[in-house]
Structure 1
Amino acid sequence: MKNTAKLLHLKCHQNYIGIFLTSTAYTRLLKINENNIDKKFIYLSLKKSGCLGHKYYITLFKKINNSILFFNKQIDIYIEQKNIFLIDGIIIDYEVQPFHNKFKYYNKNIQHVCGCGESFNIKNIQEK
């Protein structure tokens, strides 16, 4: 992961660590917001998927119920309340490669990542 010294911190009104973005992830999310003519919200979710069980997704939604907002002056990211302990403290990067661009996620609660790097399993953690 590049640019770790310049992480942008998205805070929350509740007592959570937050979400951190590298400069490339921040730039990509700003671009998504620019092109978002339907005024949908950026939503970071965790779904059961892949060979190890979970995968992160960034999507756009019109309305999000039971969500927590992480924000700064230009970027808002919503997450489902039920996923807070699996997302809080995450670092999001955006990797630009010759044939494939993608968001990459770094989370201290990830125990194992599959060979392709897309799915993972999570340490058994207790709610704080």
Structure 2
Amino acid sequence: MSIQLTEAAARHVKMQADKTGNPTSLRLGVRTSGCSGFMYTVDYADDVQDNDAVYEQHGVKVVISRKSLPFLEGMEVDFVRDGLNHRLEFRNPNVKDACGCGESFTV
């Protein structure tokens, strides 16, 4: 299994990277937080460490630390527009429950 990045998400990452001058590498992870246990972390990846897994799709590298990988394995990242709102959406098969506000999740 791996992490899937949709074409829409890749276009969004590339567009934001071009605007800000950041690399077209996306770092995903999890950290302890919220009422359910974990929350996603999203940032640009300036470099790749020895303990990172790297997946490349649609011209974008997705970098994940091996520590976060068990929580994210099999996840799909999409870019969704809903009216005036838009966001990265995480479809994670490992999530067993999420808090009501959507801030955190349980695996």
TM over 0.5: yes
Other structure's SS at 2:67 match: helix
Q: State the one-letter code of the partner of 1:60.
A: Y
Q: Percent identity?
A: 23
| Structure with higher strand content | 2
Is 1:39 aligned to 2:28, yes or no? no
CA RMSD across the alignment? 2.0
Distance 1:44 1:78 in 2: 6
Q: Which runs of 5+ in 2 are unaligned?
A: none
Counterpart of 1:69 in structure 2 is: 54
Task: Give the TM-score normalised by the residue count of structure 1.
Answer: 0.70
Distance 1:62 1:114 in 2: 31
Distance 1:39 1:76 in 2: 9
Q: Do the aligned partners of 1:67 and 1:78 also contact (CA within 8 Å) in 2? A: yes
Range with greater deviation from structure 2 (54-63 or 38-47): 38-47
Deviations 1:34-73 (A, max 9, x none): 2342437320111112221111121013224221110135
Q: Shift of residue 77 of structure 1?
A: 0.7
Counterpart of 2:4 in structure 1 is: 20
Q: State the one-letter code of the partner of 1:42.
A: L
Counterpart of 2:79 in structure 1 is: 94
Change (3 A) 1:39 1:109: closer
Is 1:83 aligned to 2:83, yes or no? no
Name the count of aligned residue pairs: 106
Q: Do the aligned partners of 2:30 and 2:68 also contact (CA within 8 Å) in 1? A: yes
Change (3 A) 1:42 1:120: same
Q: State the one-letter code of the partner of 1:70.
A: Y
Task: Give the TM-score normalised by the residue count of structure 2.
Answer: 0.82
- With CA pairs under 8 Å and 6+ residues apart, which has the higher RCO, 1 or 2? 2
Distance 2:25 2:5 in 1: 17
